[in-house]
Amino acid sequence: MNEKFPQTNSDEILGAAADTETSHEQEAQAEPRVYVACLAAYSRGDLHGVWLDAAREPEAIYEDIHAMLADSPAPDAEEFAIHDSEDFGSCTVREHDSIELVSKIARGIKQHGYAFAAWADVQEDSPELLDHFSEAYAGHFSSLEAYTEQEIAERGYCDVLDRVVPADWRSYVTIDARAMANDWHQGGDINVYPAPEGGVYLFDERV
């Protein structure tokens, strides 16, 4: 199991099975931004910087940073740092993160929602794995049990039971989705990340 996923209690992870997958399109549109400051101005006590749309190609961000430095009150302004950020969800943007990394995370959040922020938070020491988000992301669900029930239904196992179990016995024969969800989680097959809007983001790193 990936130990970098936040600790959640079993009820939060398993939860009720009645709800189904929630698409990130139902979230408010994320607009990741960073505040980039001129370090030469900052060292002399002047606050000079600019808020920038981070969900762009690095070249476009650098162009705005260079324009900010050119307008600095400090002579020979060349160095900058990220002093604040907004709309990055659970992902922490650090002062000296590269613009390339910040751009990649911001564009991922813009495209996929805050689930990508959760993935970036988990993979902070392995940014090369950011590109595996689409393969690993199972979805946003009310709980792991809800996801398990969906998987059971989509794989046709309920139909199999309907065909092979007599009708008067059918209500007694079920697949224990909660136990399956617990085994998947405890075995590390599915990683669970609490979603800020409620429910959980699920990542299957077996892919």
Domain end residue (candidates: 51, 77, 112): 112
Residue 82 identity (one-letter amino acid): I
Tell me, yes or no, whether 184 and 166 share the same domain.
Answer: yes
Residue 112 gets the label, from left (phi > 0), alpha (psi -120 to 50) or beta, of: alpha
Domain-located, residue 129? no
Task: Identify the domain containing residue 40 by its residue range.
Answer: 28-112
- Summarize pLDDT for 179-190 with one digit per residue, the tens: 888 888 887 778
- Show which of 97, 112, 127 is a domain's final residue: 112
Residue 38, in any domain of the structure: yes
57 SS3 class? coil
**3-state DSSP helix/strand/coil % of the chain, to nearest 5:** 45, 15, 40
| Phi, psi torsion values for 34, nearest 5 degrees | -130, 150
Band the pLDDT of 177: cuts 50, 70, 90: confident
**Distance from C-alpha of 75 to C-alpha of 56, rounded to nearest angstrom:** 29
19, 33: one domain:
no
Residue 131 within any structural domain of the chain: no
Residue 20 shares a structural domain with residue 62: no
Our count of domains for the chain comes to 2
The pTM of this model reads 0.77
Closest CA to 110 of 10, 29, 194: 29
User: Which one is predicted more confidently, 84 or 176?
Assistant: 84
Regarding whether 39 and 106 lie in a shared domain, the answer is yes
pLDDT digits (tens, 9 = 90+) for 8-37: 544 554 554 334 444 444 456 899 999 999
Check: CB of residue 117 under 8 Å from CB of residue 88: yes
